[in-house]
């Protein structure tokens, strides 16, 4: 198979990954996500790159995901179960996803580990029917509570932020204390959003954000995103709230560890969360040092959107995918 410039979408993906100007900017990520949306690229990658995708995706079944979590636990790292899928288009899909997630909660309960689940609200009806989504979320949260499982709502792209915040508040006010939320430091609005939630004493995961967003909505340079990340973590911790520091950036981790020590932040209020297959050395080291570490363990057949966002984070990943496509 030849990856020539005649094959525009894939050639752009690969050549974009080699551009020095894009290596350290959000421009690279934007370019890759644009190309990844091309149907031809999606078809090729899903057919030929699964072997490489397994680096980031635990498998397609709940059994494979739980096996991956078993392996993490041997290193003192706890798993976050995440069934991949987003943007459902029918009530039937909402019902299927909700039932499946509930079954996975029950399966996870067979393990003696801290149990933790991530969900995307667009899996269970956000964007289709808000009330249906809330009812689906309540069913999942009730099942999770029965099995001592914490549920984290992932934040999705910017058009869904308002409804996600609204849903989080509504569910917390209805008594679901086993619920947390993700906030993205790349979005200009997030500091204000965090402050609007402080009355709920929110358990938050702070991430940088992996979605392609316009400059009017999101910061476009890494240094500003990083500074916002640190500020958000400090704000939530200073308010006495549990905070998950979700980054693989050792510089930021070291900076926040020093600040936590200076401020006397209790260790039980802080945890570190990272992605399955990324910086396993750092995950192991932090766990060995006595920090609470979780790894986000995604699985399922709808892995392509998640995989695309992982490719968009590091230029070298695009090269690995290109090699997989060439090898077939």
Query: Taking the CB of residue 162, how many other CB atoms lie within 10 A of it?
Result: 11
Structure tokens at 166: 């609204």
Say if CB 304 and CB 297 are below 8 A apart. no
Phi, psi of 214, rounded to the nearest 5 degrees: -75, 160
Rounded Cα–Cα distance for residues 148 and 178 (Å) = 8
Residue 294, strand partner residues: 78, 273
Residues 6 or more apart whose Cβ sits within 8 Å of residue 7: none
Rounded Cα–Cα distance for residues 243 and 202 (Å) = 8
**For the chain, how are helix, strand and coil distributed in percent, rounded to 5?**
55, 15, 30
Task: Please list the active-site residues.
Answer: 154, 205
- Distances, alpha carbon 263 to alpha carbons 181, 258, 259, 282, 287, in Å: 24, 9, 6, 24, 22
Pick the closest to residue 56 from 322, 327, 304, 328 (CA basis): 304
Pick the closest to residue 280 from 126, 74, 116, 63 (CA basis): 74
Residue 246, strand partner residues: 273
Quickly tell me which residue has 């997630």 as its tokens.
101
């Amino acid at each position: 198979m030849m990856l020539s410039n005649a094959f525009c979408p894939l050639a752009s993906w690969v050549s974009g990954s080699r551009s020095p100007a894009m290596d350290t900017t959000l421009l690279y990520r934007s370019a890759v996500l644009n190309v990844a949306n091309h149907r031809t690229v999606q078809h090729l990658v899903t057919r030929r790159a699964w072997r490489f995708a397994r680096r980031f995706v635990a498998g397609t079944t709940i059994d494979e995901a739980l096996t991956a979590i078993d392996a993490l636990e041997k290193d003192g790292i706890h798993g976050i179960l995440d069934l991949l899928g987003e943007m459902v288009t029918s009530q039937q899909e909402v019902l299927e996803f909700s039932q499946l997630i509930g079954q996975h909660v029950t399966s996870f309960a067979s393990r003696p580990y801290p149990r933790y689940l991530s969900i995307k609200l667009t899996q269970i009806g956000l964007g289709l029917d808000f009330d249906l989504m809330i009812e689906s979320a309540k069913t999942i949260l009730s099942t999770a509570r029965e099995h001592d499982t914490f549920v984290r709502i992932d934040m999705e792209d910017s058009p869904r932020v308002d409804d996600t915040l609204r849903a989080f508040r509504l569910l917390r006010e209805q008594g679901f204390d086993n619920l947390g939320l993700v906030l993205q430091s790349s979005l200009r609005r997030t500091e204000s959003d965090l402050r609007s939630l402080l009355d709920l004493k929110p358990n938050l995961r702070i991430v940088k954000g992996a979605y392609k967003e316009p400059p009017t909505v999101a910061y476009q340079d890494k240094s500003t995103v990083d500074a916002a990340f640190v500020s958000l973590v400090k704000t939530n911790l200073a308010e006495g709230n549990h905070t998950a520091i979700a980054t693989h950036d050792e510089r930021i981790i070291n900076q926040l560890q020093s600040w936590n020590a200076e401020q006397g932040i209790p260790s039980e209020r802080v945890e570190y969360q990272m992605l399955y297959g990324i910086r396993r050395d750092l995950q192991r080291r932090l766990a060995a040092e006595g920090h609470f570490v979780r790894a986000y363990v995604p699985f399922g057949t709808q892995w392509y959107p998640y995989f695309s966002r992982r490719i968009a984070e590091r230029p070298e990943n695009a090269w690995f995918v290109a090699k997989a496509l060439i090898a077939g």
